[in-house]
Amino acid sequence: MGSNTSYTRRRVQKILFRLGFLLPALLIYTFILLIPIVDSMRLSFYTGSGLIPNTFIGLGNYIKIFTQDVFRERVWGAFTNNIKFFLIVTLLQNVLGFFLAMAVTRPIKGASFMRKISFIPTTLSVLVVGFLFRQILNPIWGILGNFPWLGNEFTALPTLAVAVSWQFIGESILLYTVGIDGIPIELLEAARIDGANWFQEMRHIILPAIMPIVGIVTLLIYVGDFTQFDIVYAMTTTSGNPRFKTDLFGSLFYRTAFSTPARGGWGMGMGAAVSTIMFAVVAFGVGIWFFVFQRKRDA
């Protein structure tokens, strides 16, 4: 009997100890990160003029977004811009990032210096990079001529994509470098002894080894780009000038939820609907990544 109660007491103590250690992280993570995302989805079914939408309207906000031209045009515009933006950034960061990673993993002078330097732009704030490029594109410096890169409908979005790639290519280089470093030297040497040329080596050894990294780099770009806001704010303002041609989901969400109606605000309920659509887009991408890259790895 006595040993039983002391057993129970020790058990309770153990549970309390575990709970006490887990609780701070669990509470903050759940209440500040997870619940607000779910709660934002809930608010997308409400409408109201104040800060907290309080009239339930079911799918009303979504119906407005998908059927009324004023709303549909903006959401569709941000979606298509975001896809173009994502494709440009993905292409630049994966292709150039991989090629530069090949360069810095060569046993040549300056390679380790370059590894270190290449990450510096990634450490900067997106906002700073955006402002910096906006200034440099100013004709005063004249580096890229007098052309209005950010004022032209066709060049504005690619210019933003290049600025973002300039910043985050360091991350791609870093991840690809780790992947290439991880390929066993014996494998490459064996291939060379067998007379493999550069292309064969690339196709049969290097590319298969770094495929999972292509997946991770693309996933990081996807999630970052479909919530990107800072670059638009800094380079072409929250209305995505010129004429919404650089409007992305992030800037659309900011305007709809947090701006006054005169500056593109649609009310909190509609804003919540926009962020829920963004969540669906992000979840779709993560799902595809999981299906293509993670499942294969487990198999």
Contacts of 262 (CB under 8 A, 6+ apart): none
Does 131 sit near another protein (CB under 8 A)? yes
Does 282 sit near another protein (CB under 8 A)? yes
Does 230 sit near another protein (CB under 8 A)? yes
Does 83 sit near another protein (CB under 8 A)? no
Using the minimum distance from each CB to another protein, give the nearer residue, 26 or 59: 26
Does 229 sit near another protein (CB under 8 A)? yes
- DSSP structural state of residue 183: S
- For residue 243, count CB atoms less than 10 angstroms from its CB and return exposed for 0-12, middle for 13-18, buried for 19 or more: exposed
d(C-alpha 197, C-alpha 206), whole Å: 12
Using the minimum distance from each CB to another protein, give the nearer residue, 171 or 247: 171
Does 193 sit near another protein (CB under 8 A)? no
Does 221 sit near another protein (CB under 8 A)? no
> Shortest Cβ distance from residue 1 to another protein (Å)?
26
Q: Which stretch binds another protein (CB under 8 A): 56-64, 78-86, 147-155, 224-232?
A: 224-232
Q: Which amino acid is at 250?
A: G
Does 292 sit near another protein (CB under 8 A)? no
d(C-alpha 41, C-alpha 178), whole Å: 38
Does 205 sit near another protein (CB under 8 A)? no
**Cα dihedral 81, 84, 90, 93 in deg (nearest 10):** -80
Angle between helices 268-289 and 207-225 (to 10 degrees): 180
Of residues 28 through 57, those in contact with another protein by CB under 8 A are: 28-29, 31-40, 43, 51-52
Single residue of 12, 63, 87, 117 touching another protein by CB under 8 A: 117
d(C-alpha 92, C-alpha 172), whole Å: 10
Using the minimum distance from each CB to another protein, give the nearer residue, 25 or 299: 25
Using an 8 Å Cβ cutoff, are 244 and 227 in contact? Answer: no
Single residue of 24, 67, 261, 299 touching another protein by CB under 8 A: 24
